[in-house]
Amino acid sequence: MPPSTTLVLLFNPLIFASIHCAGVTVQPADLYHLAQSQVDYILGSNPKGMSYMVGFGSNYPTQPHHRGASIVTIKKDPKPVTCQEGYQVWFNRDAPNPNVLVGAIVGGPDEHDGYIDSRSDYQLGEPATVTVAPLVGVLARVATNN
């Protein structure tokens, strides 16, 4: 068996299995509802009423920690921006990013549901593949269960 198929063969039978956790049996439907609640939280059903996906809903991060998104586009200002200007003039300003990263998911909130929309807070505000990638499969599953 090729190494790349090992996990598929191991976990496919578990798709419809129940899970035992702390003496409680958790059924697939319960896991689905948990996943759905986590998606809802990310998309705005949370104490802040904020979507952590940029561009989704009416209240979402406008200053994700992303250098390219924080610099004006040449379509609006054809003057070249040096690396130093990009950082000092654009990245450090306290205003919404001129380029909206639609679909990006920031890293926040903190463990107390706190989130400050500040480009300088890379820990909570940086969109990254490790944040979005796990959500893609969950969104695919949630979207097919309507």
Strands 24-26 and 19-21: antiparallel
Is 65 designated active site?
yes
Given 20, 65, 66, 112, which residue is catalytic? 65
Distance linking the first and last C-alpha atoms of the chain: 36
DSSP labels for 22-87? TTEEE-HHHHHHHHHHHHHHHTT-STT---SBTTSSSS--SS-S-HHHHS--TTT--S---HHHII
Beta carbons of 19 and 26 less than 8 angstroms apart: yes
Cα distance between residue 62 and residue 135, in whole Å: 21
Phi, psi of 26 (to 5 degrees): -110, 120
Which residues participate in catalysis according to the annotation? 65
